Structure formats: C-alpha cells, structure tokens
Amino acid sequence: MTGVPGSAYQRSKGLETVSWKQFPLGRGLALSLLEEQEAARRQVTGQALLDALDEAAGLPACKLVVADRPQRHRTRDGRLALKTYGYYRIAWEAPPRGSIRIYNLTAIRQQVLAPKVFLETLLHEWVHHYDFTGLQLDRSPHTSGFYGRIRDLAETLGVGYVTPPRREMPGAAQVPDDVLSAAPDRLGPGGAAPPQWIRDQVMGLFGRGGH
Ligand SMILES: [Zn+2]
C-alpha cells in the first residue's frame, strides 16, 4: 500500500507492461475463448485462462462468473451511460480475494457478447486484479498506463487484435465504474462494516442466490 496521495495514479500511468514470474501459457485458452459463445463454456475456459495468468504472475486466485443475462444498465438523457460489460471486485482478506463478473448478453439488444469483446473485457478486469494484488496499488484507475497493460497482456497472449487503443478519459480514470473495492481499514478483518452503498453495489452486482 502506498502512502502518498496520488501515487497510485502516477504509478498506474507510468507502467505500460505486465511483469511475469514465468511466461503465461494462456494463448491456446485465449484462442479457445474466441470460439465460444455460451456463458457456461466461457466461464470454464475463462477461469482456466485467469488461473494461468495468476500463476504466471504470482498472484492470488481470481474467480470468474459469467452470468447468462444482460447487464443491468443506466441511461442518461435516453442514451446508454454505462458501457462496461464486466466488474472486478476485491475483498481485502489474507490473501486478498479477487472476483470478476461478466454479463454474457448486451444491455439493450440482449445479444451474446461478441467473442473479441468478451475476451477484451476479461483481460481488462484481470488487469484490475493485477493492479491491486501485483502492483499493490490501493486504487486501479483507468489511466493510459492501465490500457497499455491490457494491450501488452493481449500481445503476450498473441491476441493483440482484441484490444483497440483506448484513450484515458478525464474523471473515468480516477473513479472507474467497474471496480468495487474498499480500503483495507474499512473491509479488513475486525474493521467496521463497509458503507451501505458499497454493500448495496456488491449485492446488486455479485449477489447471492442466482444473479
Ligand atoms: Zn475497468
């Protein structure tokens, strides 16, 4: 955990590659994901890819759920305001527990997420896991470096074509809308309960009983 305000942002922006303890053997799994459409199949293959990445980077496990339903969405002025297809959540335990949830259907038209979009979303959410548990950042903003790490990861896996260049968006970089996290002193063992809005968000997105 870094103690200097703003340092997570600066470190995130300055790093454009992912560091590995050993080369990740995930290329075959990434290519398999591009052939799959069903939520259940994507969950099994996607979990295997996450496990390969976590092992190669020396990170704690990250659990994947692929929900066979459309993402709940918000609109602003009649337009879709929320465009993320997945979420990352970190629970500050020892070791930290990361989880990723991806909705297999698009929000409005309820079509199956295109394979490239699914894989890009999975890699995007895993880089949040890498930021928290690998780089030990206390936030995981959408900086230019964050998008650089996604591209680097995709290129390492031989699927660079799934990650179109993204520009850092002011504001969105500071508070990503697809990350659920609380400071360790609020969620840590023995700490106070997290604020209600965090509990509501976590329940709404990750839920219990079959979301
Ligand atoms: Zn994100």
Per DSSP, the residues of 74-90 read -EETTEE-----EEEEE
Instruction: Band the pLDDT of 105: cuts 50, 70, 90.
Output: very high
Report the range of poorest mean pLDDT among 35-49, 145-159, 177-191: 177-191
pLDDT beyond 90 at 5: no
The residue among 154 and 184 whose pLDDT is bigger is 154
| Ligand 1 center–CA 209 separation, angstroms | 25
Average pLDDT over residues 48-66: 98
Ligand 1 centre distance from Cα of residue 66 (Å): 16
pLDDT tens for each residue of 159-211 = 999 987 777 776 666 678 889 886 554 444 444 455 565 566 666 667 654 33
pLDDT confidence band for 122 (50 / 70 / 90): very high
Residue 125 Cα to ligand 1 middle (Å): 6
How far does the centroid of ligand 1 lie from the alpha carbon of residue 128, in Å? 7
For the ranges 41-45, 49-53, 83-87, 147-151, which has the lowest average pLDDT?
83-87
Name the pLDDT band for 64 (thresholds 50, 70, 90).
very high
**Distance from Cα 36 to the centre of ligand 1, integer Å:** 23
State in Å: Cα 136 to ligand 1 middle.
Answer: 16
- Give the least confident one: 8-12, 72-76, 111-115: 72-76
**Predicted pLDDT at 82:** 56
Query: 147: CA distance to ligand 1 center in Å?
Result: 9
Residue 4 reports pLDDT greater than 60: no
Tell me, in angstroms, the distance from the centre of ligand 1 to residue 169's CA.
12
Q: Residue 93 Cα, ligand 1 centroid: separation in angstroms?
A: 21
Cis status, amide bond into 5, omega within 30 of 0 = no
CA nearest to 125, candidates 8, 45, 46: 46
Counting other chains too, the contacts that 58-61 makes at CB distance below 8 Å and 24 or more residues apart are 58/21, 58/134, 59/129, 59/130, 59/133, 59/134, 60/95, 60/96, 60/97, 60/98, 60/133, 61/97, 61/98
Q: Is the pLDDT of residue 135 over 50?
A: yes
Whether the model pTM is above 0.75: yes
